[in-house]
Amino acid sequence: MRSTLARAAALAILISASALPFARAETPGEVNIYSYRQPYLIDPLLQEFTAETGIKANVIFAEKGLIERMQAEGRNSPADLLLTVDIGNLSQATAAGIAQPVVSETIEASIPATYRGENNEWIGLTRRARVVYASKERVKQDSITYEDLADPKWRGKICIRSGQHVYNVALIASMIAHHGEEWTEQWLRGVKANLARKPAGNDRLQVKGVYAGECDIAIGNTYYMGAMLTDEKNPDQKAWANSVSILFPNTGDRGTHVNVSGAVLAKNAPHKDNAIKLLEFLASDKGQEMYAEVNNEYPVKAGVPWSALVQSWGEFKPDPISLNEIAALRKAASELVDKVGFDEGPSS
């Protein structure tokens, strides 16, 4: 009986261990990554990192729930790094207590303070601009500001995704930073009045709305242009992309709103040194060029060349405001979206 119970207990331990994605124990030469970024975006970089350093990269990908998972795992979490997008997700990770400061002279020399957490508890790795996609047929102007989006001349002509989406919350937070909450509320009411329909869908579908004549301008991130032009599985989207031009708002004054993808060093990282080595690789010239090109984004490090496709969209001036200030205003921005009933659409 005792031997049977012992064998059963041993088997249970083996099954439990095999169910884990990777081991918790310290193993030289490894780094464990939880990633909201899709595998095709990061696999080429991780392969190059392994080739250069010999450090094996283990990855778990999920569309949601990784921050909560790391919280639940606590000290027993095997995660060394969290890869994600948007200042909202990065600030959520730090607020959840799953991050620790990154201490690295290389990181501080490569990544501007604007794109790092106040205590280096998150590190920006690529940039994307929130731009206006304008119909080549129906929009003749070649410049615009975010403030212009509330002008009645755009009545019934704007397509945009939910105001509560993290990309738009960050944009609205930037408007609060520049103009104050009261002014931004009135601006948001003006934009709402100019919508062609209720906010719905992702950024690509807003461009489709312009292509279909549903609206004249759409709000979206720059990398979606690259995604539509190169998506072999959905070739019809190339026509959507070719129907619009990219206008970088406020290039003539404060600059275009910029957000980031980034990383968090896990509070209980079992391979901390290797995790920092990976961050330093991602912040290097080679890592920045590869990471930005694979998703048609902009490098964070100054002087790293843009991909040919990204260069074709033209130069722009990024808003220099710190993303830490944007993060602090996200709650106020989200509350304004609900206050004006933005997602209810133009006729409410």
Annotated binding site: 223-224
Max CA pair span of the chain: 85
Q: How far apart are CA 267 and CA 29, in angstroms?
A: 19
Packed helices 39-53 and 285-294: angle between N→C axes, nearest 10 degrees: 160
Complete DSSP assignment for 56-115: EEEEEE-SS-HHHHHHHHGGG---SEEEEESHHHHHHHHHTT-B-----HHHHHHS-GGG
The secondary structure element, H or E, covering residue 131 is: strand 123-135
CB 66: neighbour CB atoms within 10 A? 21
Residue found by looking up tokens 């290389």 in the block: 106
In the chain, which residue ranges form alpha helices assigned H by DSSP?
2-19, 39-53, 66-73, 87-95, 105-110, 166-179, 181-193, 203-211, 223-230, 237-242, 272-282, 285-294, 308-311, 323-328, 330-339
Binding site for Fe cation, residues? 223-224
CA 326 – CA 121 distance, rounded (Å): 16
CA distance 194 to 159: 9
CB-based contact 143:217 (threshold 8 Å)? no
Q: State the amino acid at position 162 in one-letter form.
A: S
Tokens of 71: 């919280």
Backbone φ and ψ of 177, nearest 5°: -60, -40
Angle, helices 87-95/166-179, rounded to nearest 10 degrees: 90
Residue 147 in contact with residue 188, Cβ under 8 Å?
no
